Amino acid sequence: MGANTISQAIYNKVRGSTNITSSLGSANQVHYLIAPQATTLPYVVVKLISDPHEPMYYDKTLAGQARIQVSLYHRDKYDGANLSRTIWKELQHFSGEASTIDIEWIRVQNERATILEDIDSFHFATDFLVEYEDPS
């Protein structure tokens, strides 16, 4: 998937990280927006929560700020927590050009872990605040 939106750029980063996909078993366990119903655990979903794309000017450069959520679904609480931390570290150190989007910085805005008793698993949700430059 080409990165012509900030959420697609983050999706590509997560899907392309061997540190993340080796723990999931495959890059096919990383999904954009929603996971297919028959997806097996563990898996990750990357989606845009908000991007008001209100222009902010730094040295006359158009920039945007988005909130991206990366959700990890895992059967094991401890392995899931460790993988959630790996995702956090991978994205915290991600900056530079991602296709046509220049990512300035990424910071964790919120983290939450919940038990999903109906499917006997855990949901680790991390919201990232992403500042980027958009050439369009």
| Pairwise CA distance, residues 24 & 83, whole Å | 9
For the segment 109-130, what is each residue's pLDDT rounded down to a tens digit?
Answer: 999 999 999 889 999 999 999 9
For the segment 13-28, what is each residue's pLDDT rounded down to a tens digit?
Answer: 999 999 999 999 999 9
Q: Is the pLDDT of residue 57 over 80?
A: no
| Pairwise CA distance, residues 20 & 84, whole Å | 9
Total domain count, the chain? 1
List the CATH number of the domain containing 12.
3.30.2000.30
Query: Under 8 Å CB-to-CB from 12, ≥6 apart: which residues?
Result: 1, 3, 98, 99
Higher pLDDT pick, 60 / 77: 77
Predicted pLDDT of residue 30: 98
| Pairwise CA distance, residues 77 & 123, whole Å | 9
Q: Is residue 1 part of a domain?
A: no
Domain span at residue 52?
6-133
Average pLDDT over residues 71-82: 97
Tokens of 113: 């872990």
Q: Is residue 35 part of a domain?
A: yes
